Amino acid sequence: MNFDPNEITPSGKTYAQVDAEEAEYVRSANAVLASMRTKSARWISYSASHRTFELVVCNPWGGVDSLILSFAACDYIAGPVSWPNQQLALVWHCDRSNRERPWEFMLQDEAVGFRLVARTFRWRRDVNSVEPGGNDSQNATS
């Protein structure tokens, strides 16, 4: 069966529209990461059983000026658990011909040897990374 990018999804959008929105979502995340190059990165949660992972980019002392990257269905994670002056970049692969795994996200910081591969990705900005539960002043979702 051939893939039709104009097929309507359950959300009422075509696959082409969904993929275009995700591409913009990833571009936005990369723009924020680039604007935060002087900040540190560190793992804040990882569950091997659920294959979930979260990383925060913030000042070393925490605070509101932060970015949290969340991943699920992680297949690979390697590298340091924290480092200064992050150079993270997110790469999104979309292959709709692969019905089992159409999307794959790779987060990497080549300068320190960090790499993650997962099937889903979300991000939140301006979350207080020190207080439990955080303080969302801006929540980026698609």
* 7/49 Cα distance (integer angstroms): 34
* 108/88 Cα distance (integer angstroms): 5
**What pLDDT score does 132 carry?**
46
Give pLDDT tens digits along the chain (142 positions).
577 878 888 889 998 999 999 999 999 999 999 999 999 999 999 999 999 999 999 987 666 789 999 999 999 999 999 999 999 999 999 998 888 888 999 999 999 999 999 999 999 997 654 544 444 434 443 3
CA atoms within 13 A on the CB side of 105: 24
* 73/70 Cα distance (integer angstroms): 11
**What pLDDT score does 136 carry?**
42
Tokens 């051939």 locate to 2
Tokens 């980026």 locate to 140
**What pLDDT score does 25 carry?**
97
**What pLDDT score does 128 carry?**
59
Q: Which 3 state secondary structure label does DSSP give 43?
A: strand
CA atoms within 13 A on the CB side of 133: 0
